[in-house]
Structure 1
Amino acid sequence: MPVTLDPDAAAVFKAFQEAGRPPYETLTPQEAREFYLAGRPVTNPEPPELKSVEPLSIPAPHGSIPARVYTPQAPRLSGGLAPCLVFFHGGGWVIGDLDSHDVVCRKLADEGELIVISVDYRLAPEHKFPAAVDDAIAATKWIAENANELGIDAGRLTVGGDSAGGNLAAVVAIAARDGNGPAISGQVLIYPAIDFAMTHPSHSEPETSILLTHTVIKWFRDHYLNGTADVQDWRASPARAATPIGLPPACVLTAGADPLRDECDEYADRLKEAGVAVTYRHFPGQFHGFFTMGKLLQQANVAACEIGLWLKALK
């Protein structure tokens, strides 16, 4: 599929090329994490002012899961309780943390007028699949079980994330439906990784190998998965779950210059065919990762606003 970058996206891509940034696959995971985090101030927009941002420690079988609670100035209260978005950051299950997605979570809390809880799940290769999945499910269940104490309306609990975080959000929604988690009222899937088979056409098109290149996807995969057998596991590839019937409403956001584009499109279609309410938003001139670059890409801010409107429209 031909892809033409928006002028601002093309300018950002050119700037990254001229900066000579090292490809992630040439770095160690720790080096990649530091490099990723160091680049955030250049791309993040100014964060909105919130009522509070507080640390949270979520009990888990292995110890505890760090998290961060974002409360907006005017949350949508019902009976004194606010809706909540449990957010999982992107980064290929290898990089990213609470700080890398701090501004994104602030914007979503502000735009959606709800509490956002960002979950710092364990990363690979130190903690391979399914450690991140286990943390995501455990954190969501604990948040639901302690909703009142957190000021959260358990009946208005959503999950979401970008890229690898979108993968985890989709998995949590499936696990919750199948009885391993709480009731989920919606899922925000921002260019999620859905199928580790990586056989869709967009995985081999040169126009999609922009910042998230085909090579770095394989680098992430090889650090995260234990082997090829994991590809078939729906907890790694949620597209391979038996059926999407009964999943909560979904807001699916995709980008044209993204290796994950076609699998995201296919998943959105499968959800619709299964009777799931889907709000689909495609940004044809943007690349994978644009959502976190609101300082440089206005479409990132448009996307955040639209997600906020979708969250506010949920029951």
Structure 2
Amino acid sequence: MELLYAIFLGAGRVIALAFFLLLSWAIYNDFSKANIPSGLDHPLKLRVIHWGFIMMFTLGKILEVLGLCRQVIVIRFLLDLRRPALDPSLSSKDLHFDGVPVRVYQPKAPSAGLRRGFVFFHGGAGMFGSISLYQDVCNKIAKDSDSVLVSVGYHLAPEHPYPTQWEDCFTATVYFLQHAELYGVDPSQIVIGGDSIGGNIANIVAQNLVERSDLPKLRAQVLIYAGLQAMDFNLPSYQQNGQIPLLFRESLIEYGQQYYVKDPSLKNDILKGSHVPDEMRLKYGRWMSPDNIPEKFKRRGYEQVPLAPYNPDVYKQWPELLEVTFSSLFGEDSVIKQLPETLIVSCEYDVFRDDSLLFKKRLEENGVKVSWFHAEKGFHGVLNLCDCSIMTFPTAVEILDNVANFVKHL
């Protein structure tokens, strides 16, 4: 008995020491690298959450170096330890739509007729996130908009590299459009949307559906702080917010490298713009010009940085970055003008803020009806902090209120 006690005591001390070292490293790393402005929503809470993320990523890397487990698996496991409960006003069922895992949320209250549908694609750089992790987000949208919501559990990279993610989401959306009435949904009233890469995927799916005359037209799309271009990483928002958690400017390329399974040594060339061919600079330059971004978004500091000279070797190694099935801002006018009514959500303290502003202008120029909500105190990833007890961020609730209100009043 004494031996067992000694073993448990020793193990507890080791775990406590490991936790202390991880926390110390996280605090040092955060204060030395992160920039958290006072104008951001609850800066101290964000700093604490950032410590948790650093600890999680560091533990994953240590275990990967030791050959025990890949970092991405550790991060997914730790993220999924948080399992939000299902809202009591909803029922849910886990299904497969043409082989793609989905969770269907339905309001329990009776409806006079067919409801609207919402197909949701979660964020997480295409490598993290899950149906379970996003249950609180889906709860609120489904409940407050009185919609049937389909949360899509697309397969993740790097085990399933691009383009698996958007293709899974496309497959699930097509299935739902074809079978909507089986779930009490009006097929002419289906919205698609998502946050971060989920918003990117939603726009790709919407563009790929515009020519499908065999399917009902989408009613709307919702793009929540989506990354929509991989041409210029020196726009004002990338400069101003490049060191603000939970998404650093340099992390974009690191995540992208794993998403596409590419050489990590390309990072600096991509950040400088060496991957952009001259003909693309000419074609897309008018859409990507900083002049399209209102001056008020440049006041926190901005210095125009031209793209570095084109390096064909860099482009050849990673041409997918500029394809419309990733950089969806570059869709042709003939496609963009057919997109459905759109809600764009941007956050002031997010590297992707200007992607949203540039795409908003493109949509408006092509006659697409656009609603826009700008979270003045928001940051990338805030949506997942909509129902976290004392760590809840009011901005997350505000964003979801706007999404639900938009869907409810279509």
TM-score by length of 2: 0.69
- For residues 21 and 88 of structure 1, what CA distance do their matches in structure 2 show? 25
1:206 Cα deviation after fit: 4.7
Task: Show the counterpart of 1:201.
Answer: 236
Q: 2:80 aligns with which of 37, 41, 47?
A: 37
2:90 is the counterpart of 1:51: yes
Cα distance between partner residues in 1 of 2:38 and 2:185: 40
Residues 247-287 of structure 1: per-residue CA shift (max 9 Å, x gap): 10111111111111111111112111111111101112121
Partner secondary structure for residue 227 of structure 2: coil
Cα distance in 2 for residues equivalent to 1:293 and 1:47: 16
How far apart are the structure 1 equivalents of 2:324 and 2:182? 33
Q: Which residue of 2 aligns with 1:158?
A: 191
Matched, 1:300 2:396: yes
In structure 2, which of residues 149, 153, 169 is the aligned counterpart of residue 116 of structure 1?
A: 149
Post-superposition CA distance 1:65-87 (Å, at most 9, x none): 11000012347653xx2110000
**Does the C-alpha gap of structure 1 residues 75 and 131 become closer, same or farther in structure 2, counting only changes over 3 Å?**
farther
Greater strand share, structure number = 1
Cα distance in 1 for partners of 2:137, 2:50 equals 24
SS of 2:201's partner is helix
| 2:271 match | none
Contact 1:90/1:96, CA 8 A, preserved across alignment = yes
Describe the SS at the equivalent of 2:89: coil
Q: Distance in 2 between matches of 1:231 and 1:93?
A: 14
- How far off is 1:32 after superposition? 2.2
CA separation in 1, counterparts of 2:41 and 2:53?
A: 19
Aligned amino acid, residue 312 of structure 1:
K
What are structure 2's unaligned runs of at least 5 residues?
A: 1-34, 62-70, 262-316
Asked if 1:72 corresponds to 2:98, the answer is no
Deviation at 1:89, TM superposition (A): 0.4
Q: Partner of 1:153: helix, strand, or coil?
A: strand
Q: Is the 8 A contact 1:9 1:287 kept in 2?
A: no
* AA in 2 matched with 1:228: W
Cα distance in 2, alignment partners of residues 140 and 19 from structure 1: 34
Whole-angstrom distance in 1 between the partners of 2:204 and 2:164:
13
- Distance in 2 between the 1:207 and 1:307 partners? 26
Counterpart amino acid of residue 210 in structure 1: P
Q: Is the 8 A contact 1:54 1:69 kept in 2?
A: yes
For 1:178, what is the secondary structure of its paired residue? coil
Cα distance, 1:137 vs structure 2: 0.8
Match of 1:312 in 2: 408
Q: Report the TM-score, using the length of structure 1 for normalisation.
A: 0.88
How many residues get paired? 303
**CA separation in 2, counterparts of 1:75 and 1:136?**
29
Look up the equivalent residue of 1:101 and give its one-letter code.
Y
User: What is the RMSD of the two structures over their aligned residues, measured on CA atoms?
Assistant: 2.3
2:4: which partner in 1? none
Counterpart Cα distance in 1 of 2:332 and 2:190: 24
* Aligned equivalents of 1:248, 1:183: Cα separation in 2: 8
Q: How does 1:218-297 map to 2 (within 5 A)?
A: 218-225=253-260, 227-243=317-333, 244-294=336-386, 295=388, 296-297=392-393
Q: Give the aligned residue type for 1:308.
A: A
The structure having more radius of gyration, on CA atoms, is 2
Deviation at 1:4, TM superposition (A): 4.3
Cα pair 1:73 1:110 within 8 Å, conserved: no
Query: 2: CA distance between counterparts of 1:278 and 1:169?
Result: 15
Distance apart, 1:49 and its partner CA? 2.2
Shift of 1:113: 0.6
* Structure with greater proportional helix content: 2
- CA distance in structure 2 between the partners assigned to 1:77 and 1:239 by the alignment: 39
Question: Can you give the 5+ residue segments of structure 1 that lack an aligned partner in the other structure?
Answer: none
